[in-house]
Amino acid sequence: MNTKNYIRLEFPSQSVNEGFARGAVACFAAQLDPTLEELGDIKTVVSEAVTNCIVHAYPDTLGKVLVKARILEENTLELVIRDWGRGIPDIEKARQPMYTTGGADRSGMGFTIMESFMDSLRVRSAPGKGTTVTLRRKISLRSGRL
């Protein structure tokens, strides 16, 4: 699919950047004229994916996080969240609801929420090399608009 517009955000895996990342992506996505609920969903999945990088990819170090947002044809938003961290040994397991390696501070619902809020979710990961999460969501065209 052709890219109509895009942004790239790169930042170190400091948790203070979670709010910035979801806010910046939401501002970019606003040009698709999403509903408040759609905008909330986009913010939520960015927050989940970036938190995964911070908590799981770089548990004891700071590393680079890259967030790419693209507007594709048919009013579709694509988000790519990438890190160069530890990687996920078992993606199937990581995607299961309530599964977490993060202890009592984490709910294990990150991937479940990403999956239920987006049309598609793809996870690619290699131990020691990093993880790339790709999410797509078609923003509905509202009536009364061309």
Partner 1 sequence: MKVLTSFKNGLLVLYFEGELDHHESRDVAQRLERILEEYLPRDCAMDLSGLRFMDSSGIAVILRVYRRMKEMGGRAWVENPGTQPLRVLDASGIDRVVKINVSEGVRS
Residues designated catalytic: 48, 52, 106
Least separation, in Å, of the C-beta of 17 and partner 1?
8
Residue 6: what are its φ and ψ, rounded to 5°?
-155, 160
CB of 13 to partner 1, least distance (A): 11
Which residues on adjacent β-strands are paired with residue 6? 70
| Least spacing, CB of residue 97 vs partner 1, in Å | 7
- Buried b / exposed e along 73-95 (16+ C-beta atoms within 10 A): eeebbbbbbbbbbbbbeeeeebb
List of residues contacting partner 1 (CB under 8 A): 15-16, 18-19, 22, 36-37, 40-41, 43-44, 47-48, 51, 54-55, 97, 104-110, 112-113, 116-117
